[in-house]
Structure 1
Amino acid sequence: MIGAAGLIGREAVGALARDGWEVVAASLGGGRDEQWPGDVRAVRLDRGDDAALAAVVGDGCDVLVDLVAYGRTEARQLTAIQDRVGSAVVVSSGAVYVDDRGRGFDTQGEADGAPHYPVPIPEERPTVAPGEATYATRKIQLERDLLAAGEALPVTLLRAGAIHGPYSRTPRELFFVKRALDGRRRRVLAFGGRSRFHPVHSSNVAELIRLAALRPGSRVLNAADPTAPTVAEIGRAIDAVMGHESGTVLVEGPPPVGHVGLTPWSGAHPIVYDMTAAERELGYRPVTGYAESLPATVEWLVARLRERKWEDAFPKLAAQFAPYGGLFGYAAEDAWLDR
C-alpha cells in the first residue's frame, strides 16, 4: 500500500490485514499506526524514486493499493511494474466530472462557473479532458493511462467524494469545530444552508479497497457515504457532538458580501455521487454514516487545536482557503450581521 500513513491508509491497512492479507505499508516516513495488527510491515518509500518503488514491490504482489497517485507520472510508475502486480486499487476523485455545459470543479471560480450535476452523479458522466493543468485533469489522465493497460493490470479506480475522518490534512469539519471552541453563537450560511458536497469517511473508502482487492477487475467506481447531508445539517450535527448551541442565519444565494457565508462544502448546486455501481459490482455496504463517524473526528480535531494554532496544525487547509479570506473571518461576519 502506497501512502499508508495518511487518512485513508491508516484505515485501509487495518481493514486488509484483518481480512487476512499480508500487508506492506509504505509511506514517506515509514511509520505505523498503533491500531494496525503486529504483522503489518511498515517501510519507508520515496514515491518519486522509481527504483525504490520497484524494490518495495520486489518479486511481486497480489494487490497494489495506491492512495497518492495524481497523474501521468504515477501511472507510468505503476504500468512499469505491471508484470509483478496481480491487480491494483487506485484512489481518484469525483472532481473529474463535468456537467452538460462542461462546468466542473475547475470552473467554480468563474462567473456562472458552478457545475450543475444530475443528482446523483453516475460514473458514466462526462469528465474533464486529461492533462497536467489541474488536479482534476491530472486525475483523469491517471485514470486513462491505467485503464489503457487493460488485462495486463486490472485496476479499480475509486472516485472519492469529500474525504473525512481523523488524520485529515484538510478537515472541513474544522469550520464548525473551531467556531464552537471559540464560543461563536451565530453563523452565516450562503445558498440557504442547502449546499451538499457528498462526503466519504476514510473507513468507507477502506471498505471499498478491501472489496476491490477480493474482486480484481478494470472499473471506475464512485466512493461516498450513504447520505449527503446539507451544510446546515453538518453544522447541527457537529454542534450536537460538542454540546454547543449556535444560531444560524441563512442567506439565499451566494455570499451577501465578500466570503461571508461560504464553507468548505458550499456550492450553488448539490454534488451527490451514485453508489449503485459499487453496490452491484463489489457488494459494497458502508461501514459508517456521516453523523455516526463525527465523534471520533471531532475529538481528534479538538486535541489537535489544544497543541497549536489551527494554521500550524493544518497548513494545507490554511493555504487552500487563504484566497477566500481564510475560514474564520469573524470580523466580516459580525460586521455584516450588525448591519
Structure 2
Amino acid sequence: MQALVIGGTGPTGPFIVNGLLARGWRVEILHTGHHEVDEIPPEVAHIHVSPHDPVALAAAIGDRRWDLCIATYGRLRTIAEIFAGRVGRFISVGGGPAYLGYMNPFLHTPEGLPAPLAEDAPLVTDPAQDEKGWRIVCTEEAVFRHHPEATHFRYPYVYGPYQPAPREWMVVRRVLDGRRRIILPDGGLTLDAYGYAENLAHAVLLAVTQPERACGEIFNAADSHALSLREVVFHAARALDWEFEIIDLPAALALPARPLLGRPTTSHRLYDLTKIRSRLGYRDVVAPAEAVARTARWLAGHPPPPMSGIPVETVLQDPFDYAAEDRLIERWQQALATLAIPDWSTPPGYGMAYSGPGGRARSQATFEE
C-alpha cells in the first residue's frame, strides 16, 4: 500500500508519516524541500515541488497513482482537483474558520461562537461575513465534489514542534527574558479549541484505519480537554521551572495579551468532539497539560526562526515591550488603590444553592449519619 503525504515536515507531518510506516504503508512526502526534519526516516521518498503551484504540481506527479493521499498543506482546492482519479482514498485537512463567527465573533449576538461547535453548526455563506472563512467553505465543497468519499478534518490552531508561529513562544520568551509578570485578559479564563500535533495526527490515522466509518465525513479534531489561557501559561511556565504573577486586567485594557488571545473578544472557541469520539474512537494520546509542557521545553531549546525573513515576533504581533507593560500594570494598580468599594445594606451573595468557600453556611453544627 502506497501513501502520499502532502506536507510532512510541519507540526503533524512526522507523526502522520511515522504512524503510516508503523501500520505497514510505504510512504512518500510531497513538499517544497525548503524544510527537512530529522523525524522523517530515510526510507521515505521526497517529491520536491510547491503544492501551491498547480502547473508544477501536475508535472511533478505525472501519471502516478497512490492508494492514499493525505493533504495537510498547499492549495487544497487545486490538490483535490489534480488528484481526482489518482488516489484510492483522499484525506484532507482544513480549519475552523469555516464556521460562522470563528474569525468574526461579531456575527453572533451577543458576540462569540456558540459553544461547543458541532460539525453541523452554521458555516460562512458570504465573503462579506468573513472572506477567509468563505474560501475555506468553498474549498471543502471542492474536496467532496472531486472526492465524494473523502474524509476532511477541521483543525483548530496546531501546537507543538515545528509550528512556525507558536503562541507558546509568547510565554516562553518571557520566561527566557526573566519576566515575572504576565498580563491576561479577564483572568485568562477563555477556553479555546487547540490541537497538539501528535493528537491531531492520531485523529487522521484513525480515519486511515477505519475507512468504513470515515469516508464521506467531516470531523472536528482537537484536544478533547480544552485548556484555558491561564492554564496554558501555567503549564508552559512550570515546564521551565518558572512562575508568573498573573496580572488580571479587563480585556479592553489588556492590550499586551492580544497576541496570546488571538482575537478581539474573550469569548470561548470550543469544538464539539462527539462525532470523532463516537465514530472513530478518538482520545488524546498526550494530555494537553503535558503537550503544552513539551512544547514549551522544545521552544526553549529551539527558538522559532524567521518566517520568509520576517521575525516570528512580527508575525505574532507581540512587541515584547516590557516597559510599556510595566507602565500599564502600574496605572492599573494605582486605579485599584483609589477605587472606593461602596457599603451594602445587604451584601450580595452567590445564591443559597452554593455551599463552597464564601457560600451558604451549614445548617447544623454537626453532621449526623
Scaled to the shorter chain, the TM-score interval is 0.7 to 0.9
Aligned to 1:9: 13
CA distance in 2, matches of 1:239, 1:149: 46
Q: CA deviation at 1:168?
A: 0.5
Of 134, 141, 144, the residue aligned with 1:137 is 134
The amino acid that maps onto 2:160 is G
Of 19, 34, 38, the residue aligned with 1:34 is 38
Aligned to 1:116: 112
Q: Aligned Cα RMSD in Å? A: 2.7
Q: CA deviation at 1:300?
A: 2.3
CA distance in 1, matches of 2:62, 2:136: 23
- Secondary structure of 1:268's counterpart equals coil
Give the 5 Å matches for 1:260-279.
260-265=256-261, 267-279=265-277
Q: Percent identity?
A: 26
Of 187, 194, 206, the residue aligned with 2:182 is 187
CA distance in 1, matches of 2:110, 2:313: 23
Q: CA deviation at 1:117?
A: 2.0
Of 202, 205, 220, the residue aligned with 1:207 is 202
Aligned to 2:93: 91
Aligned to 2:72: 67
Q: Is the counterpart of residue 176 in structure 1 residue 176 in structure 2?
A: no
Mapped contact 2:115–2:270 kept (Cα < 8 A)? yes
CA distance in 2, matches of 1:35, 1:15: 12
The amino acid that maps onto 1:62 is D
CA distance in 2, matches of 1:79, 1:319: 35
CA distance in 2, matches of 1:334, 1:112: 35
CA distance in 2, matches of 1:295, 1:311: 23
Mapped contact 2:192–2:270 kept (Cα < 8 A)? yes
CA distance in 1, matches of 2:328, 2:108: 25
User: Structure 1 63/329 Cα, relative in aligned 2: closer, same or farther at 3 Å?
Assistant: same
Q: CA deviation at 1:295?
A: 3.6
Unaligned runs of 5+ in 2: 332-369
Q: CA deviation at 1:81?
A: 2.9
Moved more, 189-198 or 131-140: 131-140
Moved more, 262-271 or 19-28: 262-271
Give the 5 Å matches for 1:98-109.
98=100, 103-105=101-103, 107=104
Q: CA deviation at 1:316?
A: 6.8
CA distance in 2, matches of 1:181, 1:313: 24
Mapped contact 1:28–1:47 kept (Cα < 8 A)? yes
Q: Is the counterpart of residue 147 in structure 1 residue 144 in structure 2?
A: yes
The amino acid that maps onto 1:286 is D
Give the 5 Å matches for 1:223-238.
223-238=221-236
Aligned to 1:328: 320
User: Structure 1 57/6 Cα, relative in aligned 2: closer, same or farther at 3 Å?
Assistant: farther
CA distance in 2, matches of 1:251, 1:293: 27
- Secondary structure of 2:163's counterpart equals coil
Mapped contact 1:91–1:157 kept (Cα < 8 A)? yes
User: Structure 1 312/124 Cα, relative in aligned 2: closer, same or farther at 3 Å?
Assistant: closer
The amino acid that maps onto 2:196 is H
Higher radius of gyration, 1 or 2: 2
C-alpha deviations, 1:58-114, integer Å up to 9, x for none?
4311111111145xxx3233223311111111111112212xxxx330x35x79998
CA distance in 2, matches of 1:331, 1:311: 24
Unaligned runs of 5+ in 1: none
Q: CA deviation at 1:125?
A: 0.4
Q: Is the counterpart of residue 221 in structure 1 residue 219 in structure 2?
A: yes
Q: TM-score, normalised by structure 2?
A: 0.78
Q: How many residues align?
A: 320
Aligned to 1:291: 289
Q: CA deviation at 1:146?
A: 1.2
User: Structure 1 114/293 Cα, relative in aligned 2: closer, same or farther at 3 Å?
Assistant: farther
The amino acid that maps onto 2:114 is P
Mapped contact 2:232–2:292 kept (Cα < 8 A)? no
User: Structure 1 92/116 Cα, relative in aligned 2: closer, same or farther at 3 Å?
Assistant: same
Q: CA deviation at 1:149?
A: 3.1
Q: Is the counterpart of residue 22 in structure 1 residue 19 in structure 2?
A: no
Mapped contact 2:50–2:74 kept (Cα < 8 A)? no
Q: CA deviation at 1:36?
A: 3.2
- Secondary structure of 1:274's counterpart equals coil
Q: CA deviation at 1:130?
A: 6.1
Aligned to 1:243: 241
CA distance in 2, matches of 1:130, 1:145: 16
User: Structure 1 45/150 Cα, relative in aligned 2: closer, same or farther at 3 Å?
Assistant: closer
Q: TM-score, normalised by structure 1?
A: 0.85
CA distance in 1, matches of 2:283, 2:119: 18
Mapped contact 1:197–1:272 kept (Cα < 8 A)? yes
Moved more, 208-217 or 229-238: 208-217
Q: CA deviation at 1:194?
A: 0.7
CA distance in 1, matches of 2:88, 2:281: 21
- Secondary structure of 1:264's counterpart equals helix
Mapped contact 1:31–1:43 kept (Cα < 8 A)? no
Q: Runs in 1 of length 4+ with deviation above 4 angstroms?
A: 110-115, 130-133, 310-314
